[in-house]
Structures are given as C-alpha cells and as structure tokens.
C-alpha cells in the first residue's frame, strides 16, 4: 500500500504518519502538521498530502474528504 512513502520531505512525514494523524483526529492539513509536531515549510507537499487525506477518508464518505480540502 506504500504507507512508508514520504509525503512531506521537509518534515519527514510519510503516509503512515498522515494516516496516524487522521486516526488521532486530524481533519485538516494544518492538523496533520500539528499532530506531527511541525509546520509546513516549502509547501510543495500540500496538494499530495490533501490527496492522501482524501484517499484515506474516502471509505467514510464525502464529508471527511471535504474537510481535508480546507
Ligand atoms: S515538502 Fe512539505 S513543507 Fe516542504
């Protein structure tokens, strides 16, 4: 499933850490960074991270996917 693939190089956040943040209640990009103890740096990862969040949220319906776009 590729959960070890890096999403954010600046902060060394991989897909597993994104999913962990979501499981811990993160519904927005900013919350994924906060739950990993960091902030966006260059911003190049934001669109990919949004896709990872949406693909993770998809089985639960559109509402979570909508929040991931905020
Ligand atoms: S790659 Fe995520 S902030 Fe730079």
Global pTM exceeds 0.75: yes
The full set of domain ranges for the chain reads 6-68
The pick from 5, 6, 11 for probing ligand 1's pocket by mutation, whose C-beta has the most ligand atoms within 8 angstroms, reads 11
CA distances from 65 to 10, 12, 41, 42, 49 (A): 24, 23, 23, 23, 12
Superfamily of domain 6-68: BFD-like [2Fe-2S]-binding domain (1.10.10.1100)
Q: What is the mean pLDDT of each run of 10 residues along the chain (70 residues)?
A: 84 96 96 98 97 80 51
The dihedrals phi and psi of 14, each to the nearest 5 degrees, come to -100, 175
Name every protein residue with a CB atom under 6 angstroms from any ligand 1 atom.
Answer: 8-11, 40-45
- The pLDDT value recorded for residue 22 is 96
61 Cα to the center of ligand 1, angstroms:
27
Of ligand 1's listed atoms, the one at least distance from the Cα of 13 is: 2
């Amino acid at each position: 499933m590729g959960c070890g693939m890096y999403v954010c190089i600046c902060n060394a956040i991989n897909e597993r850490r994104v999913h962990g943040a979501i499981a811990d209640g993160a519904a927005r990009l900013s919350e994924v960074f906060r739950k990993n103890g960091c902030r966006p740096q260059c911003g190049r990862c934001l669109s990919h991270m949004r896709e990872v969040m949406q693909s993770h949220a998809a089985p639960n319906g559109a509402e979570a996917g909508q929040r991931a776009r905020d």
